[in-house]
Amino acid sequence: MQNRRNFLKNGLIAVTGAGLAGKSISEVPRQLNTDKNPEFVYRTLGKTGIKIPVVSMGTGNTSNPNLVRAAYDKGVKLFATSEYYQNGNNEKMIAEALKDRPRDSYMLMTGTPTGISIDYKNGLFKDDTDIEVFMEHTHGCLKRLQVDYIDILSVGFGATRQSVFYEPVLEAVKKFKDEGKASYLGLATHSFEPEAIRAAVDTGVYDVVTVAYNFRKTNIKETEEALQYAADAGLGIIGMKNMAGAYWDKEKTQPINTIAALKWVLQNENIHTVIPDCANYDHLDKDLAIMGEMELTEKEKNDLNPPSEDLASGLYCQQCHECISQCPENLDIPTIMRSYMYAYGYKNLEQARQTIDLANLSGEPCKDCMACQVSCAMNFNIREKINDIARIREIPPDLIQHV
């Protein structure tokens, strides 16, 4: 492997001007052939030049190919999946759903974390990352999707600048793109978002960034400044985690006005499209309908305020990582809280089970703490939530797939 000096010299992460990314590494190989729906609102996905509806589809909460076909028939053009969803079966489902559709009439975004060793607590890619395994599974995305190329190959869990600039991954995905197996390269970030977004620009490698962005975020100012930095550099920007947990309470008696939440996200014109997880036809119709009236009403604005003081914390974890150093057990609380949100907010037990495994919990993590010493930025009762979600580890993963 070339050393860092040669890596920089060869221009893989060279940048121009005052830290802004230069032109795309290679010429854009493909464009999207789409008949525009006049009822839709379109934005251009950065320097890709592709105009797509501002509402796309996240597929992680469905295994129904007919729902994907319905979204396509209604005019959705970008479908976001991952090997992480349903152990690759989500990609296979999309392949079945779109197999008879012209390949240049839709876009696929996918990727895999397999092979990348991630220190979630510190936002780093570790040196025991196995690039051969990572690329084997990345090629597996092509096979499961039954396509010759992926429109956006997304590298997940970008966090600190060091992780975004992790040389082995950058080299591998650039090679994948240069071989014509990906039209564009993307980075997804759930934490350290402002730092990750700016780093994605500065690599000069990424064409697209997918960012957790919603009305509950406490670092909105810093994130929006970073998004402007990315937009000025020509990156396409995709919003995720837009529903902020979907419910205010774990009992699901107080739903968040998700239509208002989506509209809130799209008030920022630097967000070129969003990928809300769509579990049924009602979700699909409501998500797409917002393009008919994107302005937030006063009632919708009010709906985005907590319904009561007791529910002010909601289910959405900011992933700020300030809690970790406060915990005597040094638990990966942000990852555990993501698992909690997937289970209690999005009702996705499989993804919750997969996520909590990343936290490497053992035994009863909070057993020796009579009172939690962590002061959460969102006022979560950390000990209570950990004890709630830790029970999911008792359910075998293969059984959860059938729940």
The pTM assigned to this predicted structure is: 0.90
Reading the block at residue 319, the tokens are 């992933």
In which band, very low, low, confident or very high, does the pLDDT at 403 lie, cut at 50, 70 and 90? Answer: low
> What domains, with CATH codes, occur in the chain?
4-303 (3.20.20.100), 324-400 (no CATH)
φ, ψ of residue 183 in degrees (nearest 5): -80, -35
pLDDT of residue 29: 53
Share of the chain above pLDDT 70, in %: 92
Contacts of 169 (CB under 8 A, 6+ apart): 116, 125, 129, 131, 134, 155
| Distance, CA of 182 to CA of 166 (rounded, Å) | 19
pLDDT in tens, 316-364: 999 999 999 999 999 999 999 999 999 999 989 999 999 999 999 988 8
pLDDT of residue 398: 76
* pLDDT higher than 80, residue 21: no
pLDDT in tens, 208-245: 999 999 999 999 999 999 999 999 999 999 999 999 99
pLDDT of residue 15: 34
In this structure, which amino acid lies at residue 202? D
* pLDDT higher than 50, residue 248: yes
Mean pLDDT throughout 242-257? 95
| Distance, CA of 118 to CA of 230 (rounded, Å) | 24
pLDDT of residue 38: 75
DSSP state of 313: T
In which band, very low, low, confident or very high, does the pLDDT at 139 lie, cut at 50, 70 and 90? Answer: very high
* pLDDT higher than 60, residue 7: no
In which band, very low, low, confident or very high, does the pLDDT at 368 lie, cut at 50, 70 and 90? Answer: confident
Dihedral sign of CA atoms 100, 101, 102, 103 in order: negative
Mean pLDDT throughout 44-54? 96
